[in-house]
Amino acid sequence: MSKYLYLLICVALITGCSATQVTDEYPKVQDAIVLQAEVVNDPLFTEILTELESNGAINWDDNRTGSVKEDLSRYQSNLAWALEQFSTRGPYSQNDVFLWRKWNPPWSPTTAVTDACENSTKLNKWTLDRDKLKIANTLVHERGHSFCLTHPSQNRTPNQCDFTYISGDLAEAILVHRQNLKTRQFDKPMCPALCASLEARGMLHGCK
């Protein structure tokens, strides 16, 4: 390999993998940032999460709150703490959201990365072919990680009932409901308790 070709490859890798801020080049991401801000302030967001928490449906086990700095015993519930985080720290602003190309094949399922307790997130450019409602789902999910919540693995199925997945899926479902997209279905496993709650309200049909 010539040194010039090597240099070109290195430049391409550095450019592709570096994180950049969201610009007008990505209007769908900008729209998703606005939507996630709206949906976490929607009364249904708190109402349904509170219902699920009262039924013990949100999984807080397996050290998911182990990185949280606050004393959670001071709160009425873990959910009360999480909702306070949304209230006081707010959803992501555009300055908090970055784009980068994950260094592995484009078919990687990773949609975003957020280091626990970090206030910013990185969306994987390989996965931006989704609509803005799904990207808003990801942003709400990742915001939970920025509050220091973690889950034991990156596999959705065993974690689908923890707060990050439930809050993201709920956010998308509320957006679907508010936009009257009656024929839309979720294409990934959803927490059964959340699915039942949404179906009971007539908000969603056909969730897995």
Distances (CA, A) of 82 to 6, 15, 88, 182, 187: 48, 36, 10, 30, 26
Q: How far is residue 20's CA from residue 130's CA, in Å, rounded to a whole number?
A: 19
Asked if residue 10 is part of any domain, the answer here is no
Residues 6+ apart with CB under 8 A from 193: 52, 55, 57, 161
In a domain, 13, yes or no: no
Taking CA atoms, 189 is separated from 35, 122, 135, 186, 207, in Å, by 22, 23, 16, 8, 7
Closest C-alpha to 52, from 207, 188, 200, 157: 200
Q: How far is CA 16 from its chain centroid? A: 23
Asked if the structure places residue 79 within a domain, the reply is yes
Contact call for residues 123 and 143 (beta carbons, < 8 A): no
Comparing 83 with 12, the larger pLDDT belongs to 83
Beta strands in the chain (DSSP E): 20-21, 97-100, 112-113, 121-124
**59-75 b/e with 16+ CB inside 10 Å = b?**
bbeeebbeebeeeeeee
Q: Specify if 6 maps to a domain.
A: no
The residue among 11 and 164 whose pLDDT is bigger is 164
Torsions phi, psi for 98 (to 5 deg): -120, 160
Q: Is 208 contained in some domain?
A: no
Residue 161 dihedral angles phi and psi, to the nearest 5°: -105, 10
Q: Which of 23-27, 34-38, 75-79 has the lowest mean pLDDT?
A: 23-27
207 inside domain: no
Q: Is residue 4 part of a domain?
A: no
What pTM was computed for the model?
Answer: 0.90
Q: Is residue 134 part of a domain?
A: yes
pLDDT at 109: 78
Q: Which two tokens stand for residue 192?
A: 């059964």
For position 176, what pLDDT does the model report? 95
Nearest to 205 by CA among 175, 177, 166: 177
Tell me which residue range forms the domain holding 86.
18-200
Give tens-digit pLDDT for 115-155.
999 999 999 999 999 999 999 999 999 999 999 999 999 89
Phi, psi of 130 (to 5 degrees): -85, 165
Per-residue pLDDT tens over the stretch 89-121: 999 999 999 999 877 666 677 899 999 999 999
Q: What is the pLDDT of residue 15?
A: 41
Number of structural domains (the chain) is 1
pLDDT of 6 > 70? The answer is no
Mean pLDDT of the chain, nearest integer:
89
Q: By percentage, how much of the chain surpasses pLDDT 90? A: 77
- Residue 14 confidence class, pLDDT cut points 50, 70, 90: very low
Checking if the pLDDT of 57 tops 50, the result is: yes
The three-state secondary structure class of 59 is strand
